[in-house]
Amino acid sequence: MTSKPGLLSGALICGVLGSVLLAVGGLVPVVGDAHPGYAAAVLLIVLALLPAAIAVLAFTRGHPTLAAGVLAGTAVLAPGRLLLDLQLLVDLSTAARPEFHVPVQLEAGTAGPGLWLLFAGHLLTAAAGIAAVYFVRREAEAEGTDLPGGPRLVVLAIGLTVVAGVGLVMAPFESADPYLPARNAFESPWPVLTGALFLAFAMPLGAALAFGSGLRAAARGSVLGLAAGVLAVAVPNLVAGFAVKDASVSPGPVIAIVAALGLAALAIARQEGTRQNDDPDVAEEAKLPGGRRLELATGALAVLTAASAVLGGMTAQVSSSSPAIEAPESPAALLLVVAGVLLGVLGLAVFLPGVGETLRPALSVAWVVVPLAGTAVLDTVLTASRFGGVLSPGPGVTWTSVALFGAVVTGICSAVAGMVERENDDGRRPAGSATTPVVAAAVLAVAAFATPVVTAPDYDPPTLVTGFGASWWGGLLALVAVLAALALALRSRPMRAFALLLGVFFVLVLRAAELPLVELDGAASGAGLWLAIAAAVATAISAGFVTRSADDES
């Protein structure tokens, strides 16, 4: 072991303490007047201690990198789990946590000492993961890499985490008890919605980064940690479906548990072709082969995501159970359809020989067009669900949700493909003359997302400073992706930079297209329209400079 042993020791101490606090939180009342739906103490203790036990066992058996990977993988889910538990503090009456409490009246209870232990446990788990990541990075720098299996393992791990995420955003169980809500994440209060989405989006990213470390033991450990974290969330919900009165099992936790078991099997299974890192060049070839296959996988994911987005925009987002009440239609439905078409065109282009390799980096940015439009569609559903009763989510919500997950996975897969390409980087960079228009595009993009594109009576337009709903998160995600791509373009090879700028251009064009595509009565243009157009023009100029740099070097 070449890294400082104190770093891993500190991570293990934090991880063990975090697990112990989570276990004690399962014993101590989380709610002051606790009325658990079933005897869950033993189950919660086992699930809380499981990742720490795996990490300690690996460490004592002489596998420190495996132990660090388990801590890192478990930590990926800690922030999302903390947000789920936060609902118990914000509004207990709307928290579907029968392992801790089942309300018997409409009055909300008070938080008990166990809740604060849960919060502390999640924070310590996250701290352990951060220390473990630093340990793994030092190990990779000192020892080299030895990860076999290639992109198939990466894609399989990411795919299983996506399946687990889908299960975790679905309803935890079915309930006929009026005091025990059982809604999916999109119908739940903001702590549950944010926490579930964080879990769903963070897991694929964690899996990709785990394999990106280049250390086989760290990757296996991280996948094990992810599996243990998913089980800690899903198993209590599955048991609640069997054990709680007036409750029944729903598909969500079953899907999540099956995916978690698949992750565990992937981590435990012997990987053939393991190479020692005596020859760094051979190790790198084992780590990152098949760049073109990753590009094709990215294109296929983009096309599937595009199809889901189109279906999400063309099917009903809200259903009405009463003929007298007409279900509202999302004004952003057409915007989602166009976003799907844009992403689908790019995805299909990746399959073209010669062109696909050049355009693939555009998908590292363009995938955000689906969250940008899809979250605006979900805003309508969330608003309608507040009225309850007659109005309920329609089939369009399912397709939109699938498109959101697919978009994130597409972005992750494209990023992994970019990692492969950078291993063979020939050192060429775009000309410095592109810096000025790129900076101008970044400034204009911030302004475009901070001001409304569309204004209308009784309409609160989503910007960075107004309209704090689901669409606010979509706009923020799109802006972060745009700024990251613009920064990366300044450090990329000319044609890769051109593709990144093309992706940015698509995002800005969709932002500007909100005016004609978002259907509102009395709609008028806002300042954001002209700023988005100006940012798109600056991006196009930047692409021109980058292309000229490529011609000068060829």
163 Cβ contact list (under 8 Å, min separation 6):
255, 256, 258, 259, 262
The domain limits of the chain are 5-289, 293-553
DSSP 3-state assignment of 175?
strand
Q: Give, to the nearest 10 degrees, the angle between helix 527-553 and helix 470-489.
A: 30
- Residue 502: how many CA atoms within 13 Å on its side-chain side? 20
In order of 12, 15, 208, 511, the CA distances from 64 in angstroms are 10, 14, 21, 47
- Res 109: pLDDT: 64
The pLDDT value recorded for residue 124 is 96
pLDDT in tens, the chain (554 residues): 444 567 889 999 999 999 999 999 988 888 877 778 898 899 999 999 999 999 999 999 999 999 999 999 999 999 999 999 999 888 887 888 999 988 776 655 677 899 999 999 999 999 999 999 999 888 877 765 555 444 566 777 887 888 898 889 888 998 888 788 888 887 788 899 889 988 988 898 888 778 777 788 888 999 999 999 999 999 999 999 999 988 888 888 998 998 899 899 888 875 444 444 434 433 333 344 346 677 888 888 899 899 989 998 998 888 776 676 677 788 889 999 999 999 999 999 998 887 878 888 999 999 999 999 998 888 877 777 666 556 767 788 888 888 888 888 888 888 877 876 765 555 555 545 578 899 999 999 999 999 999 888 877 777 887 767 778 888 999 999 999 999 998 888 888 899 999 999 999 999 999 988 888 878 888 899 999 999 999 999 998 888 776 555 54
Structure tokens at 367: 């995938």
Q: Which residues of 116-138 are buried (b: 16+ CB within 10 A; e: fewer)?
A: ebbbbbbbbbbbbbebbbbbbeb
Kindly give the interhelix angle for 190-212 and 216-243, rounded to the nearest 10 degrees.
150
pLDDT computed for residue 46 by the predictor: 94
